[in-house]
Structure 1
Amino acid sequence: MDCILHTERLTKEFKGFVAVDKVDLRVRRGDIHALIGPNGAGKTTCFNLLTKFLTPTSGRIVFNGHEITHDTPARIAERGVIRSFQISAVFPHMTVLENVRVALQKKLATSFHFWKPERSLDGLNARAIELLREVDLAPYAHLTTVELSYGRKRALEIATTLAMEPELMLLDEPTQGMGSEDVDRIRQLIKRVSAGRTILMVEHNMSVVSSIADTITVLARGATLAEGPYAEVSKNPSVIEAYMGSASVELVGAH
């Protein structure tokens, strides 16, 4: 198996509370890999460890064959591991195009060239429009971001993530708080942008997970409960019980 990312006994403790407990995660190159589990299972903590927003108590993280356990968040991003967050993280009073251009500017290492006129960034516009087309936002390029619907703001976040040229995209709850129309739009978008990329996502919406994830890892109380394709994991009695409190209840459709 060609793993782009794997962890070995990854653990995080907070004053005696074990939030992530000896997790061995294997993410195959080119897959959409979903990390699921009940509230408090340790999913976002695991994401924070992978991107070094938190420092592991013990264990190892390996990306593309290189140990990144002790890398800084900036160095991990430079290696090609780029994440989104649960809370929308766009610049509301800039245009949609300008948001993507900022991400492209960061990639080009010109973020601190304050002495240059704004028109010096116009060379980034063509690439920014390409990225907006990829997420179906090109018609909104010159709209102020605050005017976008919530679902389109999340699509914009994916565009800014793509601007950083990720090898591995980490999406934290990409459909959280959305109505069914926006959920379906983001589901299709994730599937489309996964071509030639690897995606690891935390997601509560089981209809999204079941329809696009190649592999699912289930966490419960910080530890790995099960791993495999949805058809297999959804029938696992331990997984059903962890979600629903009863082995007699189907996981399908659970949120």
Structure 2
Amino acid sequence: MTFAVPESRKEPRTVLSARGLSMSFGAFSAVRNVDLDVHHARVHALIGPNGAGKTTVFNLLTKFLTPTGGTITFMGTDITRLPPDRVARMGLVRSFQISAVFPHLTVLDNVRVALQRPNGLATQFWRPLSALDSLNERADRLIAAVGLSEARNAMAADLSYGRKRVLEIATTLALDPKVLLLDEPMAGMGGEDVAVVAGIIRNVARDRAVLMVEHNLKVVADICDHVTVLQRGEILAEGDYRTVSEDPRVRAAYMGTEEA
């Protein structure tokens, strides 16, 4: 007789990995020999002092930069030399530190715009505007998933900063990512907004991988399954939050004044 292995005991499935990832700008090595595994249905944090190379690693993984060494694999495919639009269509989708919504469109229309490409409407300019009505049901589900239903018809410009970031997550989810990369999603938020967005990220990770750069260590401790600590472009430590927070090298890296 055989028994099914409970999901909680199964080895997590790797969806995005890097091996020997390196990036040099002339004589300066911004990233050196980084190995990284991002798993399905997990929240993975990339942390480190300012200047540690976190944003460069993000730019490499999302193909805004081409590495000078190493390989990147996504869903079993080598994407090291692929352009960013190609990997985005494959399901590797990134949000940015600065909110990127259309301020003079409603919440609903922002999400409908994001839904056009995956639904084959992005280049069909001859279609009447009413064709977008077919996206309303899916758009409303995404809006509800991030807690913005009551603001469905509000202009994005009238939302608070934190709610704009929530709307951006909804538009990113419209692309149905397999891996969602978030660049400092809590930056500039008050405590109430931070709690809301943290909960949304945890829910989002139920059926996709999330890799995030984040400076708010309380958020990292609360929602992240795995943490990779960078220092001077190299991996300093990794593991769950308790493991890395007790590492004396990590403690030393966060002491004193960080460089801007």
Does TM, normalized by the shorter one, top 0.5? Answer: yes
CA-to-partner distance for each residue in 1:21-49, whole Å, 9 max, x for gaps?
A: 11001112221000000001111111110
1:10 aligned onto 2:21: yes
Cα displacement string for residues 166-217 of structure 1 (whole angstroms, at most 9, x for unaligned residues):
1110011000011111111111111112111110000000000000000000
Matched, 1:99 2:100: no
Equivalent in 49, 53, 60 of residue 71 of structure 2: 60
* 2:227 counterpart letter in structure 1: I
4+ runs deviating over 6 angstroms: none
Question: Which SS does the other structure have where 2:172 is aligned?
Answer: helix
* CA–CA separation in structure 2 for the residues paired with 1:130 and 1:84: 20
Aligned to 2:202: 191
Q: How far did residue 112 of structure 1 move? A: 2.0
Report the CA distance between 1:65 and its aligned residue: 1.2
1:80 maps to what in 2?
91
Q: TM-score, normalised by structure 2?
A: 0.92
TM-score, normalising length: structure 1: 0.94
Root-mean-square deviation (CA, aligned residues, Å) is 1.1
Match of 1:32 among 37, 43, 52: 43
- Per the alignment, in what secondary structure is the counterpart of residue 96 of structure 2? coil
Deviations 1:62-81 (A, max 9, x none): 11111110111111011111
Identity score, percent: 55
Q: 2:133 aligns with which of 100, 118, 122?
A: 122
- Tell me the number of residue pairs that the alignment of Structure 1 and Structure 2 aligns: 246
Q: Which runs of 5+ in 2 are unaligned?
A: 1-10
The secondary structure found in structure 1 opposite 2:24 is strand
Please say if residues 16 and 75 of structure 2, whose CA atoms lie closer than 8 Å, have aligned partners that are also in contact: yes
Residue 246 of structure 2: which of 230, 235, 253 is its match?
Answer: 235
Distance (whole Å) between structure 2 residues aligned to residue 74 and residue 133 of structure 1: 28
Q: Contact 2:38–2:44 (CA<8 Å) still a contact in 1?
A: yes
What one-letter code is carried by the residue in structure 1 that aligns with 2:236?
L
Structure 1's unaligned 5+ residue stretches are 247-255
For 1:106 and 1:209, the matched residues in 2 are separated by 32
